[in-house]
Amino acid sequence: MGKIIVKKLKIKTCHGVNDFEKVKPQPFLFSAEVGCDFAAAAAEDDVALTISYAKVAKLITSVASSKVYDLIETLACRCAEAILDAFPQASDVRMRVDKPHAPVKAKFSSMAVEVYLKRERVFLSLGSSLGDKKAYLDFAVKRLGAEHGITLKKVSSYMETPPYGGVAKNSFLNACAEIETYLPPRVLLSRLQKIEQEGERSRELRWGDRTLDIDIIFYGRQVICDDVLTVPHADYFNRPFVLRPLAQIAPDFLCPLSGKTVAAACAALGNG
């Protein structure tokens, strides 16, 4: 792996919360570190096999000049997203935006923000126990495939399973999906909840029957536990309706907590 680096690209443009900043251009400095494997390009001395820093610079200039943002935080994120969208071979990007003339009453050389986005392999569990269950899962798969920042890689077969947890009464139709995304975990969660909402999801009764449920099972190798999100999913290893479809598409994936493969966890369930 290597990095393509664009450092302190100077662009005069308009961004800021103040009215005058939206119409009076000021200089900004943009720096990007784009992770990519350019071993083949180096071996062949072929620019077509790497990411052109000239194209990265042109792309940043386009993003910085096409729309006015209140926050340089937003500006940095949009530049980083645009780079990952434009270059599928990029594994990650670290984007920094400096605002040397920020209207702050203090002595400083620059005000700046930095964002880091990385493509991650993410596994989702999909389920439905109300209405046309297959139609709801089809809807979720279609929406995942169309969502900006998400690439749908694999979908398991749909499996009918009994209700789990003692609250839901109807049988479920379940599946698992593998996606690739650079969306941070909580942003991804928000997007998934929006898809659930569009799929007529009601949250009146926890663990009750539902039209559509989408859970994050694994987010790369990350371990997250807070009031909003727990990853790996806290109870995935006890759930046949998660492990069996997941074993179809990712049998060799290693849980970052247990160190066990999905196939091994699935086998441990036996016929339960």
What's the CA gap between 82 and 201, in Å, rounded?
32
Residues 6+ apart with CB under 8 A from 230: 224
Q: Helices in 100-239 by DSSP H: which ranges?
A: 133-146, 185-198
Residue 86 — φ and ψ, nearest 5°?
-80, -25
Helix (H) or strand (E) holding 56: helix 53-66
Q: Which of 99, 118, 153, 169 is catalytic?
A: 99
Burial of 51 (0-12, 13-18, 19+ CB in 10 A): buried
105 counts as catalytic? no
Strand order in the sheet with 2-13: 2-13, 26-36, 92-99, 111-118
Which residue numbers are catalytic?
A: 99
